[in-house]
Amino acid sequence: MAPKRPGWRPLIRVSSILLPLVLLIAAAGGSIPRVYLPMIFVPANNVPSFSHVFIIIMENHEYDQIIGDPAAPYFNRLAQQYGLATSYYAIRHPSLPNYIALTSGDTYSITNDCTNCFRDVPNIADQIEGVGKSWRAYMEGMPSPCFVGDQGRYRQRHNPFIYYDNIRLNPTRCNKIVPFTQFAQDLDTDMVPNYVWITPHMCNDLHDCSLDVGDAWLQTWVPQILASPAWQQNGVLFIIFDEGNTRAGCCTNAAGGQIATIVISPLSVPSYRSATAYTHYSLLRTIEDAWDMPHLANAGCDCAAPMSDFFTAAVQLTGR
């Protein structure tokens, strides 16, 4: 058995077959036998220590424009099979403030899709490197690593990492922002980093093209992620949207519309629906909690609940 870590408790994920049996024994007054199963160590906040985090960010659709729409059969199939956040909200409009919020915990007074509003602020890449993990951002349509500007269907405003001075001005770090063409090779060679950010280009992310186009793109790439050892060995994939098209909001600091968010992990509860109010700061906090990293800015707010309920359908078996 793996050694206990301070502040952690062992939880065993119980299958749909085993759980009713355990409850039946307990209801009958019997003692629950000691069960030896592979154990997943989950911190006290109930967010597992993921091996890898994948994030795919789509564009500009409200929740009810995705969920239930027959033009997105694959997305809806994922929403049925895995976890779906039904009350998740973007921070504001337009796109860039949401990308910055997702990776730094604040919008830092960015209110438009500016291309020269660089910021010298702490970000998630700093945190990841600080705990000895790796990261890479894959940008579809980006002409070369560390490219600054727009080209073709690539838009700088959908690449938050290039806005951070301590990444953009550091060649070693900046070269971790790469064209999406690198992703297939990294998957094939099992070289994906611990933190994987993926931005599709302006058509495949649904900004400029129809829903069926983005759905087909997801159907091409999501199965490849789910087939990888990086995901299968306690990884997680979040599929999110940057913003909706309303000002619906929650949680003190979110008013960017209600958006569809899917949580896919071998550690999460199948077909789970969470009505908990979440925001982009919640997603950032979830990753921080998983890897014992400090909270950045608004990710530390009580209003930014970690997305722990997706992973807490477990029963603690004491053996007593």
Mean pLDDT per 10-residue interval, the chain, length 320 residues? 36 39 44 38 73 98 98 98 98 98 98 98 98 98 98 98 98 98 97 98 98 98 98 98 98 98 96 97 98 98 96 46
- Identify the pLDDT of residue 177: 98
Cα–Cα distance, 168 to 148 (Å, whole number): 9
pTM, full prediction: 0.86
- Identify the pLDDT of residue 46: 85
Tell me the domains of the chain and their CATH numbers.
Answer: 50-307 (3.40.720.10)
- Identify the pLDDT of residue 296: 98
Residues 137 and 128 sit within 8 Å (Cβ to Cβ): no
- Identify the pLDDT of residue 58: 98
Cα–Cα distance, 22 to 318 (Å, whole number): 12
